[in-house]
Chain A
Amino acid sequence: MIEAQKHEKPYINPYLGGMGLGMVLFFTFFVAGKGLGASGALTRMFAFTLNLISPSYVAGQEYLYKYVSSSNHVLYHWLTFMFVGVVVGSLVAGFRQRRMKVEMLKGPGTTNKRRIITAFVGGILVAFGARLAGGCTSGLALTGAATLGAAGWVFFLSVFAAGLAVAYLIRREWL
């Protein structure tokens, strides 16, 4: 078990946390017919920023242009509003539970330099995989699994299979 650090409050029970998360997900199903998500908001913010810098560049990129050219503003979306909520909710929990310390989290056997590389490369792959599959752990796996969606389950199993296999190869970074 990985426990919270000494200066922090202990983590809450994972089953209890999961039940809470499940109730929120049901709430969004019931009210909006939509689920949770995270990668969509990051993608929209990326398209938005790039479009501010160079609209002509974005106009030449089919994938990004889809986002900025729809009738609604690129940031006017279910998931970007949720992003705002996630940030505020994390801040509240972070301060209340004393988890706001500035730090680089990494495995005990690795260096800061290596961690910078793994974090960056991991981010690249996760973005690529999420855009390819059409969602991430929350939007596709969690939301999809709860609606019995085949796409969510296929994605979830693939993520876990690759994670377990690659974990062994990079065990120096985490163990």
Chain B
Amino acid sequence: MFEDDVIPASILRAKARASSGKSSPLEEEVVTLFDQLRDRLLRYLLSMGLPCSDGEEIVQEVFLALFQHLQLGKSRSNLRAWVFQVAHNLALKQRNASRRDRQNVMDEALLVNGDPNPEDQFAANQRQERLLGVLRALSGQDRRCLSLRAEGLTYREIAQVLNISLGSVSASLTRSLARFARADER
């Protein structure tokens, strides 16, 4: 219940330190990327079924790894895909370490994390129920392709993150959306 507004006490201490010293251009670059990508990355991790606190931890790890990556002078090509790829791998590792039911994680992310207001739940129309049904029926990879595309990644970036071919990405997205489009016909 506190997650939305929790501030680590270390931050309170760090603020004082940070205000006195200037950060390096590399630090600023990483923070700028963090501002651009953090929400998208966290949504993707949540859609993989991770609890918000675990997602936040992974996001932090990813951007610290990015800092190290850049500090070591490694490739700067498509850092957005790199960031999602590292996050994806860490999330899989985290999930493998836990005993959560993988089949239902997306459902959990969408249903349990959804608006808990009973009135809103009643207001959810039949079409939404059907869409959730379609979503449940998708394979894990299809859901991830959709989720990454929803966060603005190109097909090539999605292929890199999920380590699949460009054609597979295209086929996956088309298959999923065609099923969504058919939801009314059921």
Q: Do A and B come from one complex?
A: no
Taking Cβ atoms with an 8 Å cutoff, the residues of A that contact B are: none
Q: Interface of B with A (CB < 8 Å)?
A: none
